[in-house]
């Protein structure tokens, strides 16, 4: 196999390797510029209701100046009440959580209680894309005066920020996992103060839950339509009643929602460790994202936003999916509206169950309005460029 092709007559001796080396440098330059462009932070314009913008290093100072030092937005009402944390972007390839959190930050006004929002929990994951998935690097949503661009990242922390992966990863709760999972934020809880970047991010989030005395914490996710836990509310056992009430609310609003108890032997996940190790009520929400699945057709920004895919329509007919999927697809606005409706209902029911933990809104972005009119009403300003 070694000497199949000689190209002897094409061999220009010395000049040839130099030419190839220059080509290598040129390709590195152009692709490198493209890859580095993903390190620019996404535009988020908080509403007038914002009380404070922090960074995660507030809870773990060693995160300062690291790629994990993500933004934390705090909305605080005049009256004291409940404390709630909303986490988007744990997995940057699941955009509904990131966008739902962004819409909240850009529109929310609170009268009572405190709401902490982290829109991009694994900030490093937004700076790269998974090999073999061929996903677009960005997608755009309509804003009042043009298009707003958002990054579509990877499920895992960027390897240039955390390298190399161990052969097998034993996470802080002693669960053994495949090596690359060491970069999965939602396997790293409760984290570790001196651990890897991902583990330190997890540790800082745990620290936020404890020091801010968070009563309810919601982790926003998406899954591929062929995944069984979908359109679901995954709850820690202490949050069972809250989850059940929310499911009934959502069904009345026209969102089919499945209850899933957090498996007790699956450690390192938010809904398990948050609930076990802090006093918070831990909830994880899932919607269906076709661009995330293994059956997807051509990946594109339209697939992310419109959520229409002929492969999934066929797979649904074959009974291979866990959600209904027709030609209409499952658009991002529907997935975000579902997250918003769930969040609103969870917070309302928290107040019903524990009146001292009430959060009152002056303005909460309406899921029904989002379904009807799309994102335009909720995103004021377009990005100046990609």
The answer to whether residue 28 forms part of the interface with another protein (CB under 8 A) is yes
Nearer to another protein, 160 or 381 (CB): 160
Instruction: Tell me how far apart the alpha carbons of residues 284 and 44 are, in angstroms, rounded to a whole number.
Output: 23
Strands 168-170 and 138-143, bridge-based pairing: unpaired
- Please, what is the angle between helix 197-211 and helix 270-277, to 10°? 40
Of these, 62, 133, 306, 316, which contacts another protein (CB under 8 A)? 133
Of these, 54, 109, 147, 177, which contacts another protein (CB under 8 A)? 177
Please state the separation of Cα 199 from the chain's center in Å.
17
Interface with another protein in residues 234-263 (CB under 8 A): 263
- Beta carbon of residue 222, minimum distance to another protein (angstroms, whole number): 15
The answer to whether residue 276 forms part of the interface with another protein (CB under 8 A) is no
Of these, 189, 227, 235, 274, which contacts another protein (CB under 8 A)? 227
The answer to whether residue 166 forms part of the interface with another protein (CB under 8 A) is yes
Interface segment toward another protein; rule CB under 8 A; list 100-108, 162-170, 336-344, 357-365: 162-170
Interface segment toward another protein; rule CB under 8 A; list 44-52, 105-113, 168-176, 367-375: 168-176
Nearer to another protein, 110 or 305 (CB): 305
Instruction: Tell me how far apart the alpha carbons of residues 210 and 83 are, in angstroms, rounded to a whole number.
Output: 11
The answer to whether residue 78 forms part of the interface with another protein (CB under 8 A) is no
Of these, 48, 61, 318, 327, which contacts another protein (CB under 8 A)? 318
- Please, what is the angle between helix 240-252 and helix 332-353, to 10°? 130
- Structure-token pair, residue 87: 């986490």
Strands 71-76 and 52-55, bridge-based pairing: antiparallel
Report how far apart, in Å, the C-alpha atoms of 177 and of each of 35, 166, 168, 194, 275 are.
28, 10, 6, 20, 21
Q: Is 43 left (phi over 0), alpha (psi -120 to 50) or beta?
A: beta
**Residue whose tokens read 């998406």:** 222
What residues contact residue 290 under an 8 Å CB cut-off, 6+ apart?
224, 225, 296, 303, 307, 308, 309, 312, 325, 329, 330
Nearer to another protein, 83 or 129 (CB): 129
The answer to whether residue 65 forms part of the interface with another protein (CB under 8 A) is no
Instruction: Tell me how far apart the alpha carbons of residues 66 and 262 are, in angstroms, rounded to a whole number.
Output: 31
Of these, 47, 62, 66, 175, which contacts another protein (CB under 8 A)? 175
Nearer to another protein, 21 or 363 (CB): 21
Strands 146-151 and 216-223, bridge-based pairing: unpaired
Interface segment toward another protein; rule CB under 8 A; list 13-21, 79-87, 244-252, 331-339: 13-21
Nearer to another protein, 168 or 373 (CB): 168
Rg (the chain; Cα; Å): 22
**Residues lying near another protein in the complex (CB under 8 A):** 1-7, 10-11, 13, 16-18, 20-21, 23-25, 27-28, 30-32, 34-36, 128-129, 131-134, 137, 159-160, 162-168, 170, 174-179, 181, 226-229, 263, 265-267, 294-299, 309, 311, 314-315, 318, 320
């Amino acid at each position: 196999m070694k000497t199949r092709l000689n190209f002897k007559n094409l061999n220009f001796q010395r000049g040839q390797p130099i030419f190839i080396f220059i080509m290598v440098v040129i390709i590195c330059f152009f692709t490198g510029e493209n890859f580095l462009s993903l390190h620019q932070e996404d535009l988020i314009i908080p509403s007038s209701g914002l009380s404070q913008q922090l960074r995660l290093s507030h809870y773990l100072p060693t995160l300062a100046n690291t790629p994990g030092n993500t933004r934390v937005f705090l909305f605080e009402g005049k009256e004291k009440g409940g404390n709630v944390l909303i986490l988007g972007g744990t997995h940057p390839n699941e955009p509904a959580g990131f966008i739902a959190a962004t819409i909240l930050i850009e529109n929310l006004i609170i009268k009572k209680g405190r709401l902490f929002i982290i829109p991009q929990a694994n900030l490093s994951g937004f700076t790269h894309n998974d090999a073999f998935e061929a996903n677009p690097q960005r997608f755009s949503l309509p804003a009042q005066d043009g298009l707003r661009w958002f990054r579509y990242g990877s499920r895992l922390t960027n390897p240039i920020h955390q390298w190399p992966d161990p052969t097998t990863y034993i996470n802080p709760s002693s669960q053994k996992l495949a090596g690359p999972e060491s970069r999965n934020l939602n396997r790293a809880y409760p984290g570790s103060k001196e651990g890897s970047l991902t583990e330190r991010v997890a540790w800082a989030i745990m620290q936020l839950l404890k020091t801010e005395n968070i009563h309810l914490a919601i982790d926003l996710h998406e899954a591929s339509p062929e995944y069984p836990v979908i359109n679901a509310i995954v709850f820690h056992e202490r949050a069972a009643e809250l989850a059940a009430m929310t499911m009934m609310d959502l069904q009345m609003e026209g969102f089919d929602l499945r209850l899933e108890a957090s498996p007790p032997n699956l450690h390192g996940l938010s809904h398990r460790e948050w609930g076990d190790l802090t006093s918070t009520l831990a909830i994880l929400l899932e919607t269906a994202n076709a661009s995330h699945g293994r059956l997807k057709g051509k990946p594109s920004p339209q697939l992310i936003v419109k959520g229409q895919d002929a492969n999934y329509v066929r797979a649904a007919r074959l009974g291979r999916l866990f959600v209904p999927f027709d030609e209409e697809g499952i658009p991002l606005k529907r997935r975000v509206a579902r997250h918003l409706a769930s969040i609103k209902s969870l917070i309302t029911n928290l107040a019903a169950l524990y009146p001292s933990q009430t959060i009152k809104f002056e303005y909460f972005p309406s899921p029904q309005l989002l379904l009807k009119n799309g994102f335009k009403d909720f995103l004021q300003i377009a990005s100046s460029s990609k």
